[in-house]
């Protein structure tokens, strides 16, 4: 039978992985990084056995010879290592556990001279500032690419009102700005921590250490590149911004990257990566701290702490895809053996999709809208095949705790 699809290209039949807690409504991370008008490119796929790509990848990881991967990492470092004191690798991040480990490993265990590059959170939390300072105190220099704030606020609002994706300006800069800086500073090696493909974006992408150039490079024209659902050309003409203002959000021209010889690698390809272990590593080596309390929408205290907009990001994914921070957190913890699937389901039932009370006012003030406007917009994007209203309360039609 041919599969039917609804809003955002999501399958109309809701299914859950038989091993973890993720559903077939989970979009690819390429959605976040996309400069196109079409928001959804692909959703996570399940096999005939009902098991998601991410769970299957966990099994594949068990077969990897990590000693061989370590030799490959040493060869990569030797290829790019400089002996004249200049920086020889860019490590993007903002003090989270994964970027902390990447920088620390490269400097202290592989003898590289990393330069940190930070694309600041839209609204940094108190704990985010504290962990960023701890990262720098561990012995690193950092270049911060701070965008035009008038533009950043505008793009945040446009992304929210047009796509219900208030986090898009951050993800675009996070993806493109480090590559842009690589060409400006002539530092050809860019090293991220984990590869999002581990969570089911495309399992094939885990088989190589690099990301395909199409994710961060393009020679498309400004009327073919969209920010917040509006073409870059229209943003310049309608709102009076310049190409220089927009540059950090745009894909880098392939010619510039080839001239520098830029390569984007993931340290998680070379070293065994485990989210909770990365948290412990960051705590031990840089005085990283978790949140004082659990994060709204989840039971977790240690991931996605630095940006207030992350609270809205997971709330809006719950509205559009029926999965929030609790689902994302439990899915990876079940896969990695930290909790059972039954425990994950109980945590989702209790916490997933919580309203972002802590930071919604701050984020709305930043975007120049009211909280009432926020509530109004999210209702425009609520997905019909996922939700139903019972006694004036919206409820999921097929929550994981009711699906066998």
pLDDT exceeds 50 at position 196: yes
CA dist., res. 122 & res. 313, Å (int)? 12
The pLDDT of 93-104, averaged and rounded, is 87
pTM of structure: 0.92
CA dist., res. 185 & res. 307, Å (int)? 27
The pLDDT of 20-47, averaged and rounded, is 69
Q: Which domains are present in the chain?
A: 1-295 (3.40.50)
pLDDT exceeds 80 at position 181: yes
The pLDDT of 320-326, averaged and rounded, is 96
Beta bridge partners of 387: 396
Query: Which tokens go with 231?
Result: 């073409």
CA dist., res. 112 & res. 115, Å (int)? 10
DSSP state of 107: I
Q: How far apart are the first and last CA of the chain?
A: 21
pLDDT value of position 35: 58
pLDDT exceeds 70 at position 360: yes
Give the rounded percent of residues in the chain with a pLDDT score beyond 90.
69
Three-state SS at 263: strand
Per residue in 230-285, pLDDT (tens digit) is 999 999 999 999 999 999 999 999 999 999 999 999 999 999 988 778 888 888 88
The pLDDT of 156-168, averaged and rounded, is 96
């Amino acid at each position: 039978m041919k599969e039917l699809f609804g809003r955002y290209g999501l399958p109309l039949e809701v299914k859950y992985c038989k091993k973890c807690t993720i559903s077939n409504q989970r979009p690819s991370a390429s959605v976040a990084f996309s400069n196109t008008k079409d928001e959804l490119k692909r959703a996570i796929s399940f096999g005939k056995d009902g098991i998601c790509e991410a769970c299957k990848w966990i099994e594949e990881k068990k077969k990897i010879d990590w000693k061989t991967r370590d030799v490959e990492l040493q060869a990569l470092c030797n290829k790019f290592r400089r002996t004249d004191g200049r920086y020889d690798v860019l490590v993007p991040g903002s003090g989270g556990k994964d970027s902390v480990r990447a920088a620390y490993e490269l400097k202290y265990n592989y003898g590289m001279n990393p330069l940190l590059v930070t694309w600041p959170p839209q609204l940094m939390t108190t704990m985010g500032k504290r962990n960023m300072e701890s990262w720098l105190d561990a012995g690193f220099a950092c270049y911060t690419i701070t965008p035009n704030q008038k533009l950043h606020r505008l793009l945040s609002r446009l992304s929210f009102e047009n796509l219900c994706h208030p986090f898009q300006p951050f993800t675009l800069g996070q993806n493109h700005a480090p590559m842009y800086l690589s060409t400006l500073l002539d530092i050809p090696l860019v090293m991220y921590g984990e590869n999002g493909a581990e969570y089911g974006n495309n399992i094939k992408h885990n088989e190589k250490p690099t990301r395909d150039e199409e994710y961060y490079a393009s020679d498309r024209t400004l009327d073919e590149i969209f920010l917040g659902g509006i073409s870059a050309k229209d943003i310049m003409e309608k709102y009076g911004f310049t190409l220089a203002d927009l540059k950090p959000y745009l894909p880098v021209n392939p010619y510039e990257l080839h001239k520098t010889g830029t390569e984007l690698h993931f340290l998680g390809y070379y070293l065994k990566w485990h989210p909770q272990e990365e948290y412990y590593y960051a705590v031990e080596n840089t005085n990283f701290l978790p949140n004082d309390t659990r994060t709204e929408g989840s039971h977790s205290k240690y991931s996605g702490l630095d940006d207030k907009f992350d609270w809205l990001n997971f709330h809006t994914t719950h509205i559009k895809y029926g999965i929030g921070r609790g689902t994302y957190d439990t899915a990876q913890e079940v896969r990695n053996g930290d909790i059972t699937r039954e425990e994950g389901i109980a945590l989702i039932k209790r916490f997933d999709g919580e309203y972002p009370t802590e930071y919604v006012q701050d984020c709305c003030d930043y975007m120049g809208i009211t909280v009432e406007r926020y509530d109004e917009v999210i209702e425009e994007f609520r997905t019909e095949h996922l939700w139903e209203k019972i006694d004036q309360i919206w409820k999921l039609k097929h929550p994981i705790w009711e699906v066998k």
